[in-house]
Amino acid sequence: MAARIVTLPGDGIGPEILAAAVRVLGALGDFELEERLVGGASIDAHGTALTEEVLEACRSSEAILLAAVGGPKWDTVDPAAPRPEQGLLGLRKGLELFANLRPVRPSPALLDASPLKRDRIEGTDLLVVRELTGGIYFGDSGREGDRAHDDCAYTVGEVERIARVAFASARSKVVSVDKANVLETSRLWRETVSRVHAEEFPLVQLEHMLVDNAAMQLVSAPRHFEVILTENLFGDILSDEAAMLTGSLGMLPSASLGDEDTPGLFEPVHGSAPDIAGTGRANPLAMFGSVALMLRHGLAMESEAAALESAVDEALEAGLRTPDLGGEATTEDATRAVLASL
């Protein structure tokens, strides 16, 4: 039976790159797709960024493919107004998708497209394992007169389960990133990661690194990293930084996974790029990469996943460059090039 996938185009360039992804999926197999609203599109239709009904449709699917949410239309500092990002955060939390995997592997053809020097980034092949349902993103927050606060909290259990994902993903080494010289949550993080390591994964090397140092090492010595394990906010920031190793934020895919019986959510790391929405110039490659991660982690279709990844590499090898990579190829050109390689 065809796998049932909920597709969430969202906002900005979202619908354009999702339509491209649907064409690529069509070339790889038989899928039952169910399109739903999320983010700003859902706010416009229902007054909320994620309806209960859409959350339920996602819960009962086999995988969720999301493009991007957000845009200036819904940007506001009014704390009472709904925000598109609540749709994404609601999905992550509602499905308890605690493990966010962001692989960073510059395509060989793009080694000269990064603003960083080729000899720095050559050989980079790392995975950011970001905790996705805890920390400051989901702590108590509020305003009291002229003061605002966002609490950051982690439990031992939350750190243990994400640490296991990181160690299980590593061939030889995990760098755990925290701010243990300042934050209590980071000290709990470090202590817990060390214990999981000693008790369950002693054969994997573990290094602890402070987040400011990690931010510097990531661009000065990216080959130093194989798996980066980190909490929600640090992972958000470091993964955008890591994206530049691949030449463009438009290249980075991600997988958000929960327990075994929960469908995974697959989405590009980049946002909805409202500045280029509707121009047909969006780079769909991070979206295609996210389709590949969905095939691999969500649907157990490894050979199709690998085929899609090679097709993307091949298209880049043949010279495909969207504007974010310094070229002029359109979304349509990029989609055709990848379909042709497939």
Positions that interact with Mg ion (CB under 5 A): 236
Measured between alpha carbons, how far is 278 from 271 in angstroms, rounded to an integer? 14
236 catalytic, yes or no? yes
**Are the C-beta atoms of residues 301 and 317 closer than 8 Å to each other?**
no
88 binds, among ligand IPM, Mg ion, none (CB under 5 to 8 A by kind): ligand IPM
Nearest-approach distance from CB 302 to ligand IPM, in angstroms: 25
- 333 is a catalytic site residue: no
Choosing from 75, 125, 151, 212, which is the catalytic residue? 212
Three-state DSSP at 316 gives: helix
Say whether 137 is catalytic.
yes
Give me the sign of the Cα torsion angle 184, 185, 190, 191.
positive
Tell me how far, at minimum, the Cβ of 240 lies from Mg ion, in Å.
6
Number of residues near ligand IPM (by CB under 6 A): 4
- Phi/psi for 294 (5° steps) reads -65, -45
Please, is 332 exposed, middle or buried when counting C-beta atoms within 10 Å of its C-beta (0-12, 13-18, 19+)? middle
The 40-79 contact track toward ligand IPM, x by CB under 6 A, reads ----------------------------------------
- Quote the CA–CA distance of 85 and 220 in Å, as a whole number: 32
Closest approach of Mg ion to the CB of residue 128, in Å: 11
List of long-range contacts for 143-149, beta carbons under 8 Å, 24+ apart: 143/79
Residue 238 in contact with residue 177, Cβ under 8 Å? yes
Which CB sits closer to Mg ion, 192 or 283?
Answer: 283
Tell me: does residue 88 bind ligand IPM (CB under 6 A): yes
Cα 303 to Cα 149: distance, rounded to the nearest angstrom: 47
Provide, rounded to whole angstroms, the least separation between the CB of residue 235 and ligand IPM.
8
Pick between residue 10 and residue 222 the one whose CB is nearest to ligand IPM.
Answer: 10
334 binds, among Mg ion, ligand IPM, none (CB under 5 to 8 A by kind): none
Residue with tokens 């974010």, as numbered in its chain: 324
Task: Determine how many CB atoms are found less than 10 A away from the CB of residue 209.
Answer: 20
* 11 contributes a contact to ligand IPM by CB under 6 A: no
Between 85 and 314, CB nearer to ligand IPM: 85
CA distance 148 to 240: 26
- The helix (H) or strand (E) run that includes residue 22 is helix 14-28
Give residue 233's identity as a one-letter amino acid code.
L
Catalytic-residue membership of 173:
no
Residue of 137, 178, 324, 333 marked active site: 137
- Decide: is 236 part of the binding site for ligand IPM (CB under 6 A): yes
CB of 239 to Mg ion, least distance (A): 6
Q: Is 146 a catalytic residue?
A: no
Residues recognised as catalytic: 137, 179, 212, 236, 240
* Binding interface with ligand IPM (CB under 6 A): 85, 88, 236, 269
